[in-house]
Homo-oligomer: A and B are copies of this chain.
Amino acid sequence: MNRIDSDKQELYAIAGLAKEFDISTRTIRFYESKGLLFPRRVGGTRVFNKRDRARLILILRGKRLGFSLKEIEEYLSLYDADQTHDAQVEKLLEMVNLRLDLLKEQMQDLKTTTSELSEIKKLVKQRLARG
């Protein structure tokens, strides 16, 4: 059962993922050493499954948003949180709210910055129109 199951699963090599996301294999190994990824080993070779790939996507998005790897680790843990104990669930809710607040602030920053740049763009275009 398990074997059949894993036979069906889509698997990825480290070089394939590196190429797909335009990062180095060093980066992926580094993320593993930082506890962000948990690939299986076949022989000594890392093998990643879809879940690993999904986590990598989240990691890279977190980085694009300027979060540190530690913050991203915290963020990833929200996906894995043990929801069977109410105490854990309360904690999870707290962390999710915290992160949502952070994202809300970033959204505000982005909107402000975008507005300012759009204003500059408008003025520049007017300048060009005048010749």
**Which residues of chain A have a CB within 8 Å of any CB of chain B?**
61-67, 78-79, 83, 86, 89-90, 92-93, 96-97, 99-100, 103-107, 109-110, 112-114, 117-118, 120-121, 123-125, 127-128, 131
Cα distance A10–B105 in the bound complex, in angstroms? 28
Beta-carbon contact of B114 and A61 below 8 Å: no
Copies in the complex: 2
Given known contacts A67-B66, A93-B128, is B121 in contact with A113 (CB within 8 Å)?
Answer: no
Which residues of the partner chain B approach A131 to less than 8 Å between Cβ atoms? Answer: 86
Interface of A is mostly: helix
Beta-carbon contact of B107 and A110 below 8 Å: yes
Cα distance A124–B113 in the bound complex, in angstroms? 33
Q: How far is the CB of A92 from chain B (nearest CB, A)?
A: 6
Beta-carbon contact of A103 and B107 below 8 Å: no
Which residues of the partner chain B approach A78 to less than 8 Å between Cβ atoms? Answer: 117, 120
